[in-house]
């Protein structure tokens, strides 16, 4: 394959292609003043790659160089056009003000316990980052760590935290500007003073303490080229002994001979076993263990292949409790004898059921969370696998955080739905009952809204669930502004979850619809695989069918429909708007994987090959990827929906070059009346840890762009 990089001249300043865009078609009832748009000229090169004997032009290859001056100038030029457009939307500021008002309430997380202290995260309303607090014996609370003081603009965030078992030491990782690269610091919890220990540039890492001796972490070697986009394939596990420098850290797992793309570890709660997971893709992993109770013990394999997913839950008297989908696509819990770990000797504790299962533990019990059509159900088991009870939940929604230490007799968990703000409940293991612990108070009335599930039929006859949320008493007149949100990949389940931003959409008469399309994990590994590689089109078909259902049933029409998704969901939106440009009025692809021929050439993107396949593996796969790759599948002279591509300059998960190249190609191909723009956030990454202020600004821009191009006014909330 040809991989030559062609250097291009800098983007010409003030070189604009004058193209007036009318933002509204005559079919909409409401008419706003057209906003003229002048797209920057994006220089094109004659760069060509060779795939399986076929030449493929890549005229915007130069936009992959995130450090180049011409790329920076292109970003500035595109942002100027986009924000000039957004500035002219008359109700944009009203949306931002309403978002800020509804966002401004106290948010408190579930408590967790170390030493004599109770810890919890709290945000007083509009703080850019939540603050870690603590209190002792229900006494006065105090700030333990405030991430807002780590940067002036709130762009530095906490990503991982870990206490020693006795709570005397605390390690935490921070991300700067949303990057996946992390720095780790260590604090004495009593005095709240930092120790001299510091780890620079860890990535895709947890923090696992071995007693108080030190901790394990994972990282890659510094890549050649851009730190934000160069390949990072050789992941390694290190041990840092307290009081030493990072240069003295011991390599525990990973080497040049047998590199692994993703390496992680955990020390079991009893401190006796180090468990190492090694993987080369986002599905399937090997398992290794080291006996920490015996000096000089070595690492030995427990599962020596990556054919299935395996997650260690606990260690007990020489046995590992492991959740696995080996021979059980919906997962099962097994016991593995560390002295005889052969799969044929595994003992099933909790067998596979019809619903996909995730297991947690707490208070000496096991808790299996089942997804029944994306809704949480929980059953309690003892350590021998005997079912003891089914736990009554506050309603139909999503439970998270249902775990605790073995010594605790209570579990604090969060319950939420599309209309129920996340509330904290305390579950008494002894009593078998839940009690409301903390409920947020915000300017939103759940009783005024409804959220119901429907099942629709996809192109090949598959039944797909979708949850639709809106105001009660909604008229099915085809004129309701609707956001159809999807993901469909990587075994990730979209379960009901409250969104502060969506309250503003809903109270303005909007509909929010989420289908559980194939590629996700809502129905186990079979559902996931049905949306991967040469079956990826099922994902797009399921999403298109969801939009068609909403239109057919009168919830909305093409003039009032927006399709939205991020990351893999950004790919979903990009592919859908190209295959069905008539389906929706607005397209909102965020941080999307848009170049399917080259995604595996950036950072750890090669790890996504289980879901996507790569253009290198076969001619069949190459042609399949190219057929739906948003950068390559755009058709010249087509009228596409009003499109607002969103990305960020520090996204080193899905590098912004994906969105850059797609936006440039879209602006060239598009011949319709609606605007196609790109909004590029600065000092932000893939999404995690983004400051509240930036989140509100971005959501205001997305809603303003969407409503304006639907011809729908923003009325705010009636007082």
Residue 544 to residue 459: CA distance in whole angstroms? 9
CA–CA dist 430, 121 (Å, integer): 27
Of 716, 623, 656, 653, the residue nearest 52 (C-alpha): 623
Q: Please identify which residue in the block is written with the tokens 């129905």.
A: 523
SS3 letters across 432-471: CEEEEEECCCCCCCHHHEEEEEEEEECCCCCEEEEEEEEE
Q: Identify whether the C-beta of residue 589 lies closer than 8 Å to the C-beta of residue 582.
A: no
Identified catalytic residue from 47, 528, 632, 686: 686
Supply angle C-alpha 633, 634, 636, rounded to 5. Answer: 130
Q: Which residue(s) pair with 267 in the sheet?
A: 274
Continuous segment of H or E residues that includes residue 709: helix 692-710
Q: In angstroms, rounded to a whole number, what is the distance separating the alpha carbons of residues 438 and 432?
A: 19
Cα distance from N-terminal residue to C-terminal residue, the chain: 62
CA-based nearest residue to 308, from 333, 280, 327? 327
Active site residue 235: no
Q: Which of 451, 567, 629, 659 is catalytic?
A: 567
Collect all residues with Cβ–Cβ distance below 8 Å to 625 and sequence separation of at least 6.
596, 597, 612, 613, 614, 615
Helices 500-507 + 92-103 axis angle, to 10 = 130
Nearest one of 161, 205, 198 to 180, comparing CA atoms: 205
Which whole-number Å values give the CA distances from 35 to 31, 69, 642, 705, in the listed order? 12, 30, 13, 11
Query: What distance in Å separates the CA atoms of residue 392 and residue 376, rounded to the nearest whole number?
Result: 11
Whether the CA torsion 410, 416, 420, 421 is positive or negative: it is positive
**Annotation says 567 is catalytic:** yes
Residues labelled as active-site residues = 567, 686
């Amino acid at each position: 394959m040809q991989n030559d990089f062609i250097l291009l001249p800098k983007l010409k300043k003030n070189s604009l292609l004058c193209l007036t865009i009318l933002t509204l078609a005559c079919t909409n009832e409401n008419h706003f003043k057209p906003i003229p748009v002048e797209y920057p000229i994006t220089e094109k090169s004659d760069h060509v790659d060779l795939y399986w004997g076929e030449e493929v032009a890549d005229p915007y290859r130069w936009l992959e160089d995130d450090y180049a001056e011409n790329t920076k100038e292109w970003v500035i030029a595109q942002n100027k056009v986009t924000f000039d457009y957004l500035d002219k939307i008359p109700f944009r500021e009203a949306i931002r003000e309403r978002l800020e008002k509804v966002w401004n309430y106290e948010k408190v997380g579930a408590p967790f316990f170390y030493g004599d202290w109770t810890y919890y995260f709290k945000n007083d309303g509009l703080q850019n980052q939540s603050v870690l607090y603590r209190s002792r014996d229900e006494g006065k609370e105090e700030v333990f760590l405030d991430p807002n003081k780590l940067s002036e603009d709130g762009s530095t965030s906490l990503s991982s935290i870990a206490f020693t078992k006795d709570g005397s030491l605390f390690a935490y990782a921070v991300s700067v500007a949303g990057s996946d690269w992390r720095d780790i610091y260590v604090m004495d919890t009593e005095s709240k003073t930092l120790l001299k220990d510091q780890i620079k540039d860890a990535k895709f890492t947890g923090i696992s303490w071995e007693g108080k001796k030190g901790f394990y972490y994972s990282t890659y070697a510094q890549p050649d080229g851009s730190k934000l986009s160069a390949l990072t394939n050789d992941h390694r596990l290190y041990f840092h002994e307290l009081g030493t420098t990072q240069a003295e850290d011991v390599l525990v797992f990973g080497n040049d001979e047998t590199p692994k793309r993703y390496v992680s570890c955990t020390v079991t709660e009893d401190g006796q076993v180090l468990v190492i997971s090694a993987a080369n893709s986002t599905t399937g992993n090997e398992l290794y263990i080291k006996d920490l109770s015996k000096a000089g013990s070595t690492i030995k394999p427990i599962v020596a292949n990556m054919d299935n997913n395996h997650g260690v839950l606990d260690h007990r008297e020489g046995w590992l409790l492991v959740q696995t989908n080996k021979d059980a696509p919906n997962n099962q819990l097994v016991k593995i004898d560390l002295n005889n770990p052969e799969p044929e000797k595994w003992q099933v504790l909790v067998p596979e059921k019809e619903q996909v299962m995730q297991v947690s533990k707490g208070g000496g019990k096991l808790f299996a969370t089942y997804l029944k059509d994306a809704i949480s159900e929980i059953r309690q088991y003892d350590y021998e696998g005997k079912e003891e009870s089914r736990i009554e939940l506050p309603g139909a929604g999503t439970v998270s955080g249902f775990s605790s230490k073995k010594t605790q007799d209570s579990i604090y968990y969060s319950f939420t739905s599309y209309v129920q703000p996340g509330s904290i409940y305390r579950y008494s293991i002894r009593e078998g009952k839940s009690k409301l612990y903390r409920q947020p108070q915000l300017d939103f009335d759940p009783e005024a809204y409804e959220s119901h599930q429907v099942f629709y039929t996809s192109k090949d006859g598959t039944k797909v669930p979708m949850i639709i949320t809106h105001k009660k008493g909604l008229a099915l007149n085809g004129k309701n502004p609707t956001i159809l949100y999807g993901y469909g990949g990587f075994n990730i389940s979209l379960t009901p979850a409250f969104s502060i931003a969506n309250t503003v959409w809903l109270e303005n008469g909007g509909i929010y619809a989420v289908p559980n399309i194939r590629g996700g994990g809502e129905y186990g590994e079979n559902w996931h695989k049905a949306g991967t590689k040469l079956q990826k089109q099922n994902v797009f078909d399921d999403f298109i069918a969801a939009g068609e259902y909403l239109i057919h049933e009168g919830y909305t029409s093409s003039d009032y429909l927006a399709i939205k998704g991020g990351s893999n969901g950004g790919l979903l939106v990009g592919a859908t708007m190209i295959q069905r440009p008539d389906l929706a009025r607005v397209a909102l692809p965020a941080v999307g994987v848009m170049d399917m021929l080259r995604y595996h050439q950036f950072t750890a993107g090669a790890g996504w090959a289980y879901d996507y396949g790569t253009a290198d593996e076969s001619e069949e796969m190459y042609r399949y990827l190219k057929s739906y790759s948003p950068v390559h599948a755009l058709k010249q002279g087509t009228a596409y929906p009003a499109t607002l591509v969103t990305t960020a300059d520090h996204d080193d998960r899905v590098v912004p070059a994906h969105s850059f190249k797609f936006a440039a190609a879209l602006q060239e191909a598009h011949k319709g009346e609606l605007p196609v723009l790109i909004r590029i956030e600065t000092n932000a990454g893939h999404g995690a840890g983004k400051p509240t202020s930036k989140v509100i600004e971005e959501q205001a821009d997305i809603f303003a762009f969407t409503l304006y191009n639907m011809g729908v006014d923003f009325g705010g909330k009636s007082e």
